[in-house]
Amino acid sequence: MTPFTTLSGIAAPLLADNIDTDAIIPSREIKNTGRTGLAEGMFAPWRYTQGREPNPDFVLNQPAYAGAKILAGGSNFGCGSSREHAVWALAEYGIRCVIAPSFAPIFAANCIRNGLLPLVLPRDGVEAVAGHMVAIDLAAQTLTCEGVTHSFPIEEEARDMLLEGLDVIDLTLKSRSAIAAWTRADRAERPWIYL
C-alpha cells in the first residue's frame, strides 16, 4: 500500500450530507469480481448525463477541479452499503483524501485499508477549505489552507497504518501466537463457537 505522508492540492467541493456509496459507485458499475476497473463508474449518476456524456455541472468535470486528489464532502460521508468498491473507485481515480465533518464507519475503515485519508474537520472548517488549495501533513495531523492551520483527529493505529503503508494482515500475523493461545483457552470455555 502507498504510504500517506503529506498531500497538497485543491479540495473539490461536494458538500451534500449523507453522500452514499451507491452514489460513489452504483452497484451496476461493479462489473467484475476484482478491485479494478471502477474509476470510470465513480459518481456515475452525477458525473454523466443519461447518454453518459460528462455532466458539466459535476464538480470533477469542471476545469478547476479536474484531476483533484482531495474531496470536501458533507457529514456522514460514505454511508450506505459496505462495498469497498467505493474506496477502490476513488483511489483508482486518484483521490487520496476526503475531508468531511463525519464519515460512515465502514467507509472510514475501508479508506484506511486502502491508503486514503478520511480527514475530519468541523463543518465550518470543511466549508472554509472547500474549493481551495490545501496542504495536509498526516504526521502533524494538520491541514493548512489560506494561511490557517486546522488540526484534525485520527485514531493512532489508523494514522500509523497510513503513514507506513503497512500490510495490516502481515502486521496482525505477527501476533499469531497470542491469537492461537487465546483461541485454545476460548475453545475450552465456549466450545459451541468451534464448529
Q: How far apart are CA 169 and CA 165, in angstroms?
A: 12
Q: How far is the CB of 60 from other proteins (least distance, A)?
A: 17
C-alpha cell at 195: 464448529
Q: How far is the CB of 161 from other proteins (least distance, A)?
A: 9
Query: Residue count at the site for other proteins (CB under 8 A)?
Result: 57
Name, in order, each residue with C-beta under 8 angstroms of 169's C-beta and a sequence gap of 6 or more: none
Q: Is the CB of residue 99 less than 8 Å from the CB of residue 11?
A: yes
Binding mask 90-129 for other proteins (x = CB under 8 A): ------------xxxxx--xx--xx---------------
> Binding other proteins by CB under 8 A: which of 2, 8, 49, 157?
157
What is the rounded CA–CA span in Å between residue 89 and residue 111? Answer: 11
Q: Are strands 6-14 and 133-137 parallel, antiparallel or unpaired?
A: antiparallel
Residue type, position 98, single letter: V
Q: Is-contact 130 72, C-beta < 8 A?
A: yes
Which range of residues in 21-29, 63-71, 123-131, 137-145 is near other proteins by CB under 8 A? 21-29
8 binds other proteins (CB under 8 A): no
Q: Residue numbers of the site for other proteins (CB under 8 A)?
A: 16-18, 20, 22-23, 26-28, 30-35, 45, 50, 75-76, 79-84, 87, 102-106, 109-110, 113-114, 155-157, 159-160, 168-169, 171-173, 175-176, 178-179, 182-183, 186, 190, 192-195
